[in-house]
Amino acid sequence: MRRDTLDAVSPNVPADLASLELAQLEDFVESLGHRRFHARQIYRWIWQKGAADTAGMTDLPRDLRDTLAAQAAVRSPRVVRRDRSEDGTEKFVLRLQDGRQIESVFIPDTPSQTFCISTQVGCAMGCAFCLTGQMGLLRNLTAGEIAGQVRVLARELDMLQVPFNIVLMGMGEPLHNYDETMKALRMLADPIGLGLSPRRVTLSTVGLVPMLDRLSAEPLMPNLAVSLHATTEAQRAAIVPTTRKYSLHDILDACRRFPLAKRSRITFEYVLLQGVNDRAEDARRLARLLSGIKGKVNLIPLNATPGIPFDRPSDERIDQFARILAEKSIAVSVRKSRGRDIRAACGQLIVEGQGRRSPAQQLAEAL
């Protein structure tokens, strides 16, 4: 077996077939003494039909099924809670093998239906308006756990055969868990499985500059959303405190050199906090910062939540901010809040009782 397959398959633990890319699965099947093409059948069962174990993979030879039953498993995050908002948004609390819990959200907007997926348990970025940031980072998710959320939600919602979009905007900073996130996107994109086009995936980041540059060389390039939230270094340090290492100038330079497909643009996320970053001068400065970048701005009025020391600006203030950007020829939209009544909205994802570590300390260790 190749090195990457050996890394993914431990000799003492049943192999998790749902955490292997197709090529790794082919190596694994071959290592069991079977023909590589059976891996394609297994991959289809897992990713197209949502199989939760190998017992029902009826087109596999009996002896391969027996071997898989002894030496392999199909691990899936387990749904422990499902809450439905009055607007149709559904929040899923999922339990992982080690007992940790994460949240994933289904947003049923038409024409596109969207799964909002987590990439870490907690988050080290510590954004001041975000409950997930208050948890600190407990651990990275594996590629199987990231892609597994999609499989579980699609199965639960009977959407395995229905087109949907994915946003990596749940718990965690995807570029802080780079390798597993990219592996998950490759697993989801494989045409033998879900065949999810990268055009249907949006990766949201606070702007970890070296990782943005790395992302720009990926063969499978998702749409990019960059969370700015501020127009001065001091504001940014207060709102996204753990990313002081990268100035706004450095982040926007990385965006300027990011290779965009024809007709595509970078989305700049900007959470509006009353009296902090919502003034007319902030809007004018934001327009100046973005000048010359193929981008659009998504304004996110804060979802005021107990424990978060900010308020939502008034509707007049939000309109004024959007109008100033539009007058400066910046494409702008205001995000409609979804799932606020079930705490599934942006910045509200948290699973209580999982401990807490200091985000700043973790980021300093990690970068």
Residues annotated catalytic, as ranges: 103, 346
Q: Is 228 helix (H, G, I), strand (E, B) or coil?
A: coil
Q: Which range in 95-103, 171-179, 255-263, 291-299 contacts ligand SF4 by CB under 6 A? A: 171-179
Tokens read off for 208? 């970890």
Determine the angle formed by the axes of helices 280-290 and 315-327, rounding to 10 degrees: 30
Residue 121 within binding range of ligand SF4, rule CB under 6 A:
no
Q: At its nearest, how many Å lie between ligand SF4 and the CB of residue 152? A: 20
Of 170 and 198, which CB lies nearer to ligand SF4 in the complex structure?
Answer: 170
Number of residues in the chain: 367
Choose which of 20, 60, 130, 363 interacts with ligand SF4 (CB under 6 A): 130
CA–CA distance, 114 with 11 (Å, rounded to integer): 37
Residue 15 has φ and ψ, to the nearest 5°, of -65, 135
Here's the x/- map for ligand SF4, 86-105, by CB under 6 A: it reads as --------------------
Q: At its nearest, how many Å lie between ligand SF4 and the CB of residue 244? A: 14
Which residue in the block uniquely carries the two structure tokens 């309109």? 319
Residue 27 CA to its chain's centroid (Å) = 28
**What's the chain's Rg over C-alpha atoms?**
21
Q: At its nearest, how many Å lie between ligand SF4 and the CB of residue 176? A: 8
Residue 133 within binding range of ligand SF4, rule CB under 6 A:
yes
CA–CA distance, 261 with 356 (Å, rounded to integer): 40
Q: At its nearest, how many Å lie between ligand SF4 and the CB of residue 350? A: 9
Q: Restricting to residues 202-231, name those near ligand SF4 by CB under 6 A.
A: 206
Of 126 and 198, which CB lies nearer to ligand SF4 in the complex structure?
Answer: 126
CA–CA distance, 162 with 50 (Å, rounded to integer): 13
Of 5 and 227, which CB lies nearer to ligand SF4 in the complex structure?
Answer: 227
CA–CA distance, 58 with 56 (Å, rounded to integer): 5
Site size for ligand SF4 (CB under 6 A): 12
Give the residue nearest to ligand SF4 (CB).
Answer: 133
Here's the x/- map for ligand SF4, 336-355, by CB under 6 A: it reads as -----------x--------
Neighbours of 265 (CB within 10 A): 14
Choose which of 123, 276, 286, 299 interacts with ligand SF4 (CB under 6 A): 123
Neighbours of 316 (CB within 10 A): 8
Q: Which range in 81-89, 130-138, 157-165, 215-223 contacts ligand SF4 by CB under 6 A? A: 130-138
Read off the DSSP letter of residue 279.
S
Residue 171 within binding range of ligand SF4, rule CB under 6 A:
yes
- Cα–Cα distances in Å, from 62 out to 42, 48, 66, 73? 13, 21, 6, 16
Residues that bind ligand SF4 (CB under 6 A): 123, 125-127, 130, 132-133, 171-173, 206, 347
